[in-house]
Amino acid sequence: MALLEANGVVKQFGGLIAVNNVVFSIEKGMIASLIGPNGAGKTTFFNIITGFYQPTSGDIIFDGQSLVGLSTDRITARGVSRTFQNIRLFANMSALENVLVGEHCHLRSGVVGAILHTPGTMREEAQAEARAHELLDFVGLRNRADELAKNLPYGDQRRLEIARALATEPKLLLLDEPSAGMNPIETEDLTQFIRRLRDELDLTILLIEHHMRVVMNISDRVSVMDLGELIAEGAPEEIQQNQRVIEAYLGTGGDEMLGAE
Amino acid sequence: MQLRASIKAGTIVGATALFFTISGMFNALAGPHIAGVSLSHIILALMGLWGGWLTVRDLMGGEESPPPWQTTLSGALAGIIAGLWIAPLVALASAIDVRYVLDSVTPDTITILSFGRSLPQGVLLLVGGLAVLSMATALLYPYLSRANLQMRQDISTSGLSGPAFFSGRSVRVILPLTLLGLLVVLAPLRLGGYYDHVLGSVGIYVMMGLGLNVVVGFAGLLDLGYVAFFAIGAYAYAFLNSPKYNMHVGFWISLPIVVAIAALGGILLGVPVLRMRGDYLAIVTLGFGEIIRLFLNNLVKLTGGPQGILDIRPPSLPGIDLGNPLAFYYLILVGCVATAFVTSRLDRSRIGRAWAAIREDEDVARAMGIDTVKYKLMAFAIGASFAGIGGSIFASRQAAIFPADFTLMVSINVLCLIIIGGMGSIPGIIAGSVALIGLPEMLRGFSDYRLLIFGALLVIMMVFRPEGLIPSVRRQQEIHEEEEKLGIATAAT
């Protein structure tokens, strides 16, 4: 059964149709990529899935239930988490605190527990912290827990953002251009890391990506958007050959870019 | 280089002295004598010492300390420069009457500044005196700083061998805190009614500051209508405990009712502004504060209008009279401690993290599963509750309240004391209240110049210490890192 299904999703901003009648699905355990030229509507599509925007029409079914009309925090609690194209960490909070915020919806303690330090709250906080340290370990930030997020190097910020997204215990992880601004070595690390996420944490991953090396390396399936529409879908090799995709990217005669990478 | 340090220090001290002269502070301080010397002369002497200290600190900052004769000479020079800032005014004012322009520079001022001598002698004494004092600190500074260093080392080494309680951090933190605590509890017993009352006012503002800090400092929601909840609390208490409606519910039963009403007020304000941020939020909340005040002023039948509500009962405990300033001070102190405890616990909890996340980036906070609506309303409600308690105590202490007690200035003052003290920092807010509410009371002797001095202090403070008096660790990092970056950038160019 598909974990996520988009049925004829349309998003209109005034006269602009940013996402047009997209029909899309991801099976559980898949790594799927969404590619397309700038302005194709990829991030808008992410924003619709995560509830930042409500679709003008169409439906999104996640894990058997519709996400349309739910607020972002509810959707996160259902098991969809994301990272952002331009890193959006809580800059003035430590790495550990960033991850702890991610755990928010799995913690229960309220005002009374917080003020009185009831045993339940203390236990929960201790567990949450231990879990946050585990996650930081997992993404390779073991020794950076107390550093302010904004003081981390760029690559570590990307990792921290993923750790924070993982802290919400998602079933589906949406990564918006995770390799943006990375050099080839970092990109290679990231590719391995994304594969590990799927294999070790049993996640389903959808990524928006411009680095074709990453896309072609790890994707089980690639979907291509252009001008708000889904124009092609298939295995990486098929997409590399697809004439429409090549035209969307470079106009005619652009096979070199997709092929060479 | 040495010359520059002297000029800089001399200018700072001289300008300060000039400000004191023009604002009439030397006149105001001439009255009290300590050991036969008038307070204004003592302050003048301290300024001299300060000049030397500033100079040497500047000179020692470099990699190589200059030889002692050089620092001493620079200190003296700083004193002379400082003296030259006020000497011309003294000379001028003794020749002609300058009161048409500078109405506080009276013959008394001149007598003080020239030590009662005639013109050339007096001015020489002034400039020379500053020079000698400044030179003295410059000469002694190296010895003093060495002694200070030695003392610190002694404490930390002896701490290591001593029992754990007295080790390093404990001696430096716990001991002064205990002393401060004792002072706060015991000092009012000796201070007398007037100061107890002033300290009580400071305490009420501490409570409000801590409450508003939840909204502004923790959750990052700029609320300029905070006075509304203070007013709601005060009027709710007054309704329940005055002849107006012939109800005498009593302080302790009223308190939870007032808290509930204020919290509800917080939520009612919160709902319409949920989608607003920053400046827009500030304007709407500002309006809310004014609306409440106008209601109080104009719903004459309900609230008594501008005549206010009179004969509000003070709190009582079986067998104890709580109606005097000292008892109110202790009641407020308990309230402050409770507020500080609750807000600090909240800050360091899951709820505090959710607020911090909303403050940093609301959209992302939502994407991380935080119900921003709930937590924003919670911040408004909790913040409003503390203002409500403050309002109850205020009403019961004043025994009569009027809409005029609840102007925009209250909101501005509370916000200012948070900023002055250090946003997000609980000790900072206490320091801010003392500085902002207590200091103007202490400065009453300067009457007309009170607010001028106060304003000048605020400006100086924001220029030299933008993070606040006692900033939270995080905020200090934020501001100073930016400075460091700028520093690096300028160094590179």
Partner residue opposite B368 with nearest CB, options A91, A101, A121: A101
A254/A146 same-domain check: no
B377 neighbourhood in chain A, CB within 8 Å: none
A53/A29 same-domain check: yes
Q: Residue A182 sits in a domain of what CATH number?
A: 3.40.50.300
Question: Measured between alpha carbons, how far is residue B24 from residues A151, B439, B444 in Å?
Answer: 49, 17, 13
Torsion from C-alpha of B402, B407, B411, B412, nearest 10 degrees: -140
For position B100, what pLDDT does the model report?
A: 75
Is position A27 within any domain? yes
SS3 A90: coil
Instruction: Write out the two tokens for A131.
Output: 């879990």
Which domain-ending residue is among A128, A154, A169?
A: A169
B361 neighbourhood in chain A, CB within 8 Å: 88, 90
Mean pLDDT of chain A: 91
Is position A85 within any domain? no
Q: pLDDT tens for residues A82-131? A: 999 999 999 999 999 999 999 998 998 889 999 999 999 999 999 999 99
Residue to mutate among A73, A161, A174, with most B CBs inside 10 A, is A73
Q: Is the pLDDT of residue A41 over 50?
A: yes
- A226, A40 in Cβ contact below 8 A? yes
How close, in Å, is residue B341 to chain A by CA atoms? Answer: 8
SS3 A86: coil
Q: Domain total for chain A?
A: 2
Handedness of CA B424, B425, B430, B434 (dihedral sign): negative
- Would you list the domain boundaries of chain B? 2-161, 163-191, 196-484
Torsion from C-alpha of A250, A254, A256, A257, nearest 10 degrees: 10
Chain position carrying tokens 């209240």: B433
Instruction: Write out the two tokens for B23.
Output: 């604002």
Say which CATH topology domain B196-484 has: ABC transporter involved in vitamin B12 uptake, BtuC (1.10.3470)
Q: By the CB < 8 Å criterion, does B342 face chain A?
A: yes
Is position A260 within any domain? yes
Taking the C-alpha atoms of residue A157 and residue A145, their distance in angstroms, rounded to an integer, is 12
Which residues span the domain enclosing A141?
90-169
A118/A94 same-domain check: yes
A180/A160 same-domain check: no
Mean predicted confidence (pLDDT) in A248-261: 58
Which domain-ending residue is among A169, A204, A221?
A: A169
How close, in Å, is residue A132 to chain B by CA atoms? Answer: 13
A179/A53 same-domain check: yes
B301 burial type by CB count under 10 A (0-12 exposed, 13-18 middle, 19+ buried): exposed
A93 neighbourhood in chain B, CB within 8 Å: 353, 356-357, 360, 474
Taking the C-alpha atoms of residue B419 and residue A225, their distance in angstroms, rounded to an integer, is 49
**Which helix H or strand E contains A125, and what residues bound it?**
helix A119-139
Question: Measured between alpha carbons, how far is residue B97 from residues A205, B29, B103, B109, B125 in Å?
Answer: 84, 22, 10, 12, 22
Low-confidence ranges of chain B (pLDDT < 70): 1-2, 32, 34, 61-65, 144-173, 442-450, 473-493
Concatenated DSSP letters of B322-353: --SHHHHHHHHHHHHHHHHHHHHHHHTSHHHH
**Which helix H or strand E contains B42, and what residues bound it?**
helix B39-60
Concatenated DSSP letters of B402-418: -GGGS-HHHHHHHHHHH
Partner residue opposite A92 with nearest CB, options B353, B360, B364: B360
For position B171, what pLDDT does the model report?
A: 57
Taking the C-alpha atoms of residue A104 and residue B358, their distance in angstroms, rounded to an integer, is 12
Q: Quote the percentage of chain B above a pLDDT of 70.
A: 86
Q: pLDDT tens for residues A72-84? A: 999 999 999 999 9
Inter-chain CB proximity A125 and B350 less than 8 Å: yes
Among A200-204, A208-212, A244-248, B297-301, the minimum mean pLDDT is found in: A244-248
Partner residue opposite B353 with nearest CB, options A73, A97, A113: A97
Which domain-ending residue is among A145, A169, A193?
A: A169
Q: By the CB < 8 Å criterion, does B219 face chain A?
A: no
The ipTM (two decimal places) reads: 0.91
Taking the C-alpha atoms of residue B51 and residue B10, their distance in angstroms, rounded to an integer, is 6
A75/A46 same-domain check: yes
Angle, CA A60 vertex, CA A56 and CA A63 arms, to 5° = 165
Angle, CA B481 vertex, CA B477 and CA B483 arms, to 5° = 125
For position B59, what pLDDT does the model report?
A: 79
Is position A84 within any domain? no
- Looking only at the bridges linking them, the beta strands covering A31-35 and A57-62 are unpaired
- Chain A contacts to B (CB-CB under 8 A): 50, 52, 71-73, 76-77, 81-82, 84, 88-93, 97, 100-102, 104-105, 107, 109-111, 113-115, 117, 121, 125, 128, 148, 151, 164, 167-168
Q: By the CB < 8 Å criterion, does B248 face chain A?
A: no
Partner residue opposite A114 with nearest CB, options B349, B357, B365: B349
Angle, CA A140 vertex, CA A136 and CA A141 arms, to 5° = 55
Taking the C-alpha atoms of residue B440 and residue A219, their distance in angstroms, rounded to an integer, is 68
A34/A140 same-domain check: no
Taking the C-alpha atoms of residue A116 and residue A109, their distance in angstroms, rounded to an integer, is 11
Partner residue opposite B367 with nearest CB, options A72, A111, A115: A72
Inter-chain CB proximity A88 and B371 less than 8 Å: no
Residue to mutate among A81, A104, A105, A124, with most B CBs inside 10 A, is A104
Q: Quote the percentage of chain A above a pLDDT of 70.
A: 95
Phi, psi angles (nearest 5°) of residue B100: -65, -35
